Structure 1
Amino acid sequence: MSDKQKRIDPIPNEFSSLEDAAEFWDTHDTTDYLDNFETVPIEETQLKQRHFEVEVDMDLMKVLYEKAQQKQVGIRQLVNEMLREQLRHVA
C-alpha cells in the first residue's frame, strides 16, 4: 500500500491515561498528523511530576514489554507496580 493510500486513524479526543497516549503514539507516525500539532510557548508548559531515567538491559526490556502487553498496561505502569510490590517486602 502506498503512503497516499495508507489509512490514518484519527487522534482520540482524549486518552484515559498517559499509557494509552503513549501506546497510541508508539503505534502511529507523528508525521501523519503534522496538521494537528501546534507550537506551544514554553511559558504555558508546566512539569507536574518528576520522571527519572533508569537504564534497563535489553533482555529485561523485552520481558517487561511482553508482560505489559499481557496485562494490557503501559510499561511505565507495570514497572511502577513491580517496584512498589518489591519495596513493600523490603520495608
Structure 2
Amino acid sequence: MRKKNHIDPLPEEFATYEEAAKFWESHDTTDYPGVFRTVRVVGKLRNRHYEIPVAPDVVRLLQSRARKRRISLGHLASDLLRRQLRTPR
C-alpha cells in the first residue's frame, strides 16, 4: 500500500473538542512541522497511589467499615496503617 502524500491543511481552530479529537485521530502532528512549539511545564504531584496486595476478606472488612464511617476506603486504610506504624515494636 502506498503512503498518503497529501496532507490536509490544519484548521485555524476547531468548533468543539470532538471535532479536534476526530481530526487528530486520523492525522499526525509530525506532518505539521513549525506549527507546534515546545513548552515547559512544571507540575506538582499532590497524591501518590500505591498498589499493594490485600486479602479479599480484609478488603470486605475495610469496605464495610469505611461505609459505616462514611469515608473512603483509601482514607480508612491510611489511617489504620498510620496508627499501626505509630505503635512501638
What TM-score do you get using the length of structure 1 for normalisation?
A: 0.47
Structure number with greater Rg is 2
Q: Which one scores higher on RCO, CA 8 angstroms, separation ≥ 6? A: 1
